[in-house]
Every structure is written in structure tokens, then in C-alpha cells.
Chain A
């Protein structure tokens, strides 16, 4: 690989060009992150009058707290559910659209629209659809003999937030899968057809393995999305309820910090989240870099 090296006539120019990015990172990431790190080691009384340095007591408490451990479990199922649902539906759509010739572009455009919808709006939209009193879905489900109520059933609530969160992400996944499908040389599919593989078998033995780098990339992106970007969905629909059933980690950070005003614990939780996202990103870069092509 050839490395390109710019030479600048004046020594301050490169710093000036870098400055905006550095300043933004400092103000909006480094500073709040270090605040959170510092806060996570403190304990404040309810009125904010006294602050005590407690080392890692906040973390110790968290990992002993059944509510926090429950939130971790909830987050796990929520992320897995959202990722699986949004990716499998997106892949299905991508495969179907990829087969089209003439109307491919218009379908693609329509399928991308939900991505422009804010998470909170997506949440409200599905909240209406699933509303036990006025929603269409409980009415339909009632016809099948299922009594839907996400206000009392934790499972129902979880299903609803997963659908709402996944719905928005389908567009994004769809675009990547479609691009991935289009980059697979058509002759490979033809060769497999001549080699006697059925349509189904061609997909699972040729197409799907060739999509695996994209699938992995999307998996990480979707997990990160489900864990960190779904605050709006939860806040607009279940607010973490019923009885903590949909209280994912990010939402708990907000509840504990801004509603229950336990800043130390909230900061400790956000530090843990930070560690998770760093780990995911590192895993992604490592893995993707290793097998960028075959």
C-alpha cells in the first residue's frame, strides 16, 4: 500500500484544518464521557448538597442489584429480537426486490422511507397500532383468540417494542443487503443452477455465505442500534414497563439519573454501556478487516 503524504507550506494549517473535528469531539464526546467517568465514582445525596468519593461502590452495587441484572437480560433479548427480526425481514425484502427488473428502484425508494422516521414517532405509530383499546392489531389478534395487552403482559410489551424498533431498522439493513446481493456476480448463480442446485439451495450455499461479511457488519450495527438508539421507542411506548419488562439499559440510565436522580449510579451505568459499545466496535473492525473479501 502506498501512503499519501501531504506537505503543507505553513505549520499551523494542518492543525487549523483538524481543529473543528477535534473541538467537536472534545466538547461532545471527551468532556461528557470524562464527566460520566468521574461521576460514576461519586455518590450524591438526594438534594445534591453533599458529594462523596466512593471509588467503585456504584459499580459494586449495580452488579448486586437484581433490577440492573434484569435490565441486562431485558436488553439482551430486546437486542437479539430486534436484530433478528429487522435483519431477516430486510434480507427477505432485498432478495425479492433483487429479483425485480423494472420496478426495483421505486420499491427501493419506498422501502427506505421508514428510516427517515424518528424512533419516537415509530414508537407512537406502533403504540397506536397495538393500543389495546383502539389499535387494529389487538382487534385482529382477538379474532384468533389472543388477548393482547402490553400494559399488563411483559411479553406483549417486549414484542411491541421489538417490532417498533426493528421496523425502523429494516430500511437500513435492506439497503445493505440489496447492495450485497447486487455485488454477487450473476454468473455464480448461473453456475450453481447448472450445477444442479435448486433455488433454495443456491441461496443457502452460495448467496448467503457470500453475504456473510455484510451480515456480520449489520449484526453489529443493529445490536448497537438496539442497545443505544432505541430510547425514543421505549420512552414513547412502554416507558420501561410493565414492571421493568422493557426497561433496557439505556432507558434505565435515563430513569435512574433524571427521574430518580441517582446520578452516581446512572453515570456508572453509562460507563458500562460505553465499554460495551467500544468492545462491539473493536470486534467489528477486527473481524471485518480480516475478511473484507474472499
Chain B
């Protein structure tokens, strides 16, 4: 159990290729931090720097009260779950779990106890004599988890551990990993490109883009107050709608947008914040032409276009409305639900 502190971490590869820039994160003991971002954003590199699989070229990394910049992966007291599980194919499940303990000179009885315990926790006790190739994807995932678990490390590192599973199994394992982490209270760093995984699993999530941190915060904080247009577009599905403020100002009465800073020239609207109900006192209304109605069972997605601008808008309703495509619909939205951004800096204003 330990905290992890990253101070101004940076990674520059040979040939002056920059992967990570100036990352500062404080991970409290027992906290689950999710690094999320599109592919190539440096999230895996950052995780591998923490693991010791990539050298740290800038900044300082603390695990517990030690600076671990120069330590070998084995000496950092961390365990990692790989995307492809990286199970040793020629060893049985038991030996896969025991390998790290054997290397550290644990007594046979202690190894037995820990492996049995982890196997029971992950319900893989029946497969201990099998080789990895005889297991299904979900079982392999559990073995990979078990290998991290038996070590009882200071921190778990997860590198997109669920991306090789099918959708159903992914949801199930997501829940299990989170429950396990909450039970063990082991500090965890989890990398994913899936914003839903990030929102559901994180104590706090870190949104990365181009090797830099865009925002750190609790899932709800990041969702309801995205700090940049990138975060606004990346977190949430369907993505946040972005309409030019100039167009919005022309649409609605002047005082409707008076509460927003003058600098705001881009207005973000979450698809679910719009409703078909008539606008109330603290709401504004917005009309557009319905191009496409996508019913999705419990909810529906309405794609709207506007006269004079190329931007379109998606509205998510918790029901399937009785409307026809081509009709002009008027939606209402609470004024406080508008997200004002500055186009040039990409940052949220106010």
C-alpha cells in the first residue's frame, strides 16, 4: 500500500520524439486513478514509466516515500496487468501465479497459501493445473489479475486489461475489478481508451491528450465541468454538442446568454440536457430540423440541423418521441447547463 506521486514527469524518446509532457498527479493510498485518452495520447507510456518498463527522462516519480526513477521494475513493488495478459504459455496457471513469488524467494507453504487464496478470490481454483491456452479469454484475464494479486504489491497497474474481451464480459470484469480494488484498497493506476470504463471505475480520472493532462477530477466533476473542448468531446457518449455562440446569441433573446462570459465563443450542450418540454423561466429554447431519429430501446437519439450553420446537434431523450423526420422541433435547456468555451485556447471560460 502506498501513494504514488508524479512530479513534472516527461518522456522524450531518442530522436527528440516527445510522448509525455509535464505530468503531475498525486495518487492517494488506496485510490483508483484512471488514465483515459485517445490512442497515442501517451497514457500507456506514462503507465510504463511508472512500472519501470520505460525510462523516465524528465521529472520525479515517488512510490510510497521512495524516489523510484532509477529502480528496476522488480524493485518498485508494483504489479501489472497487461493488455494481452502476458501469461507464460508454457506454465500452468499455478506456476503463472507462483512465478513472481518464487523469484522473490518465498517459502513453498507461503506460495501455496497465497496462490490458493488468490485463486479462490478470482474463482480460478479449478484451473490451477491448466495451461493458459486451455482457458477462455475471461479466465485468462482472471489469471492475469491473480498474478498481480498474489504479490500483494504497493500498487496495481492496469494497461487496458479489458480491451481483448467481448462487450458482455468486459462489463462483468469491469465490475469485478472495481469491487476487488475497493475491497483490497490497493492503490491502482488504470489505463483505458474507453471513456465509459473511465467514468465507471475511477475514483478520479485523468484525461490525457497529446502527452499532456487535460483535466484531473472525479468522474462526475469531469463530466459536468469539462475543462477543455477536448475533454468535453471525449468524455460522454454521444459527445457534447458544440455550437458557435454567435449563432446562439442570434437565436435567443439577449438576456438568455447574458450570464455567460463575453469571451465564450463556443457553447457546449450535453445531448441529454435538452428536452421537448416548453421552456420554463430559467430555460432557453432552441429549434432545429430533425434529420434522423435513432430509437435505441430505452432512449432515442435525435440528429438536428440548423439553418445557416454547418454544425449539427444530437439530442438524447429518455423515450422515443412521436415525431417525423424533416419536422422542426423546439427544445428547451436550462441556462446553467450551457458549457462556455473559448475556441482559440480550447479552454472552458468560467
Q: Decide whether A and B assemble into one complex.
A: yes
In the complex, the chain B residue whose C-beta lies closest to that of A190 is B53
- The 0/1 profile, CB within 8 Å of A marked 1, for residues 74-102 of chain B is 10001110111010111000000001100
* Docked complex Cα distance between A212 and B91 (Å): 13
User: Do B78 and A194 touch across chains, with their CB atoms under 8 A apart?
Assistant: yes
Q: Determine the chain B residues whose CB is within 8 A of the CB of A187 once the complex forms.
A: 82-84, 86
* Docked complex Cα distance between A205 and B78 (Å): 21
Is A206's beta carbon under 8 Å from chain B? yes
Q: Determine the chain B residues whose CB is within 8 A of the CB of A63 once the complex forms.
A: none
* Docked complex Cα distance between A105 and B284 (Å): 66
Asked, given contacts A185-B84, A187-B82, A294-B89, whether A195 binds B133 with beta carbons under 8 Å apart, the answer is no
Asked, given contacts A193-B73, A195-B100, A196-B100, whether A294 binds B86 with beta carbons under 8 Å apart, the answer is no
Q: Determine the chain A residues whose CB is within 8 A of the CB of B89 once the complex forms.
A: 188, 210, 294
Asked, given contacts A196-B104, A197-B103, A201-B103, whether A191 binds B80 with beta carbons under 8 Å apart, the answer is yes
* Docked complex Cα distance between A101 and B83 (Å): 24
User: Do A188 and B86 touch across chains, with their CB atoms under 8 A apart?
Assistant: yes
Q: Determine the chain B residues whose CB is within 8 A of the CB of A195 once the complex forms.
A: 74, 99-100, 103, 147, 151
Is B131's beta carbon under 8 Å from chain A? yes
In the complex, the chain B residue whose C-beta lies closest to that of A210 is B90
A190, A196, A209: the one within 8 Å of B86 (CB):
A190
Is A293's beta carbon under 8 Å from chain B? yes
* Docked complex Cα distance between A206 and B104 (Å): 16
* Docked complex Cα distance between A185 and B83 (Å): 12
- The 0/1 profile, CB within 8 Å of A marked 1, for residues 116-158 of chain B is 0000000000000001110000000000000100010000000
Chain B CB within 10 A, most for which of A190, A196, A197, A293: A196
User: Do A294 and B131 touch across chains, with their CB atoms under 8 A apart?
Assistant: yes
Identify which of residues 139-184 in chain B touch chain A, using a CB-to-CB cut-off of 8 Å.
147, 151
Q: Is the interface of A mostly helix, strand, loop or mixed?
A: helix
In the complex, the chain A residue whose C-beta lies closest to that of B72 is A193
Q: Determine the chain A residues whose CB is within 8 A of the CB of B53 once the complex forms.
A: 190, 193-194
Q: Determine the chain A residues whose CB is within 8 A of the CB of B79 once the complex forms.
A: 194
In the complex, the chain A residue whose C-beta lies closest to that of B53 is A190
User: Do A194 and B51 touch across chains, with their CB atoms under 8 A apart?
Assistant: yes
* Docked complex Cα distance between A185 and B82 (Å): 11
Q: Determine the chain A residues whose CB is within 8 A of the CB of B151 once the complex forms.
A: 195
* Docked complex Cα distance between A194 and B83 (Å): 15
B74, B84, B133: the one within 8 Å of A193 (CB):
B74
Q: Determine the chain B residues whose CB is within 8 A of the CB of A185 once the complex forms.
A: 84, 86
* Docked complex Cα distance between A193 and B90 (Å): 17
- The 0/1 profile, CB within 8 Å of A marked 1, for residues 47-86 of chain B is 0000111000000000000000000111000111011101
Nearest CB of chain B from residue A159's CB, rounded to whole Å: 35
* Docked complex Cα distance between A21 and B52 (Å): 56
Interface size class of A (residues with CB under 8 A): 10 to 19
Q: Determine the chain B residues whose CB is within 8 A of the CB of A201 once the complex forms.
A: 103
User: Do A194 and B90 touch across chains, with their CB atoms under 8 A apart?
Assistant: no
Q: Determine the chain B residues whose CB is within 8 A of the CB of A210 once the complex forms.
A: 89-90
* Docked complex Cα distance between A185 and B89 (Å): 11
Is A277's beta carbon under 8 Å from chain B? no
User: Do B82 and A192 touch across chains, with their CB atoms under 8 A apart?
Assistant: no
In the complex, the chain B residue whose C-beta lies closest to that of A294 is B89
Q: Determine the chain B residues whose CB is within 8 A of the CB of A192 once the complex forms.
A: 88, 99
Q: Determine the chain B residues whose CB is within 8 A of the CB of A206 once the complex forms.
A: 88
User: Do A190 and B133 touch across chains, with their CB atoms under 8 A apart?
Assistant: no
Nearest CB of chain B from residue A100's CB, rounded to whole Å: 14
* Docked complex Cα distance between A190 and B78 (Å): 13
Nearest CB of chain A from residue B198's CB, rounded to whole Å: 22
* Docked complex Cα distance between A205 and B98 (Å): 13
User: Do B73 and A294 touch across chains, with their CB atoms under 8 A apart?
Assistant: no
Q: Determine the chain A residues whose CB is within 8 A of the CB of B132 once the complex forms.
A: 294
User: Do A190 and B82 touch across chains, with their CB atoms under 8 A apart?
Assistant: yes
User: Do B88 and A188 touch across chains, with their CB atoms under 8 A apart?
Assistant: yes
Nearest CB of chain B from residue A73's CB, rounded to whole Å: 35
Q: Determine the chain B residues whose CB is within 8 A of the CB of A205 once the complex forms.
A: 99
Q: Determine the chain A residues whose CB is within 8 A of the CB of B99 once the complex forms.
A: 192, 195, 197, 205
* Docked complex Cα distance between A151 and B84 (Å): 58
A191, A196, A293, A294: the one within 8 Å of B82 (CB):
A191
Q: Determine the chain A residues whose CB is within 8 A of the CB of B103 once the complex forms.
A: 195-197, 201
User: Do A293 and B88 touch across chains, with their CB atoms under 8 A apart?
Assistant: no
Q: Determine the chain B residues whose CB is within 8 A of the CB of A196 once the complex forms.
A: 74, 100, 103-104
Q: Determine the chain B residues whose CB is within 8 A of the CB of A293 once the complex forms.
A: 133
- The 0/1 profile, CB within 8 Å of B marked 1, for residues 175-217 of chain A is 0000000000101101111111100010001100110100000
User: Do B88 and A194 touch across chains, with their CB atoms under 8 A apart?
Assistant: no
Nearest CB of chain B from residue A156's CB, rounded to whole Å: 41
Chain A CB within 10 A, most for which of B73, B84, B147: B73
Q: Determine the chain B residues whose CB is within 8 A of the CB of A188 once the complex forms.
A: 86, 88-89
**Known A194-B51, A194-B100; 18 more pairs at CB < 8 Å:** A187-B83, A187-B84, A190-B51, A190-B73, A190-B80, A191-B86, A192-B88, A192-B99, A193-B74, A194-B53, A194-B78, A195-B147, A195-B151, A196-B103, A197-B103, A205-B99, A294-B89, A294-B132
User: A residues engaging B (CB < 8 A)?
Assistant: 185, 187-188, 190-197, 201, 205-206, 209-210, 212, 293-294
Can you report 6 residue pairs joining A to B where beta carbons are below 8 Å apart? Answer: A190-B51, A190-B53, A193-B52, A193-B53, A209-B90, A210-B89
Going nearest first, the 3 A-B pairs with the smallest beta carbon separation are A195-B100, A294-B89, A187-B86
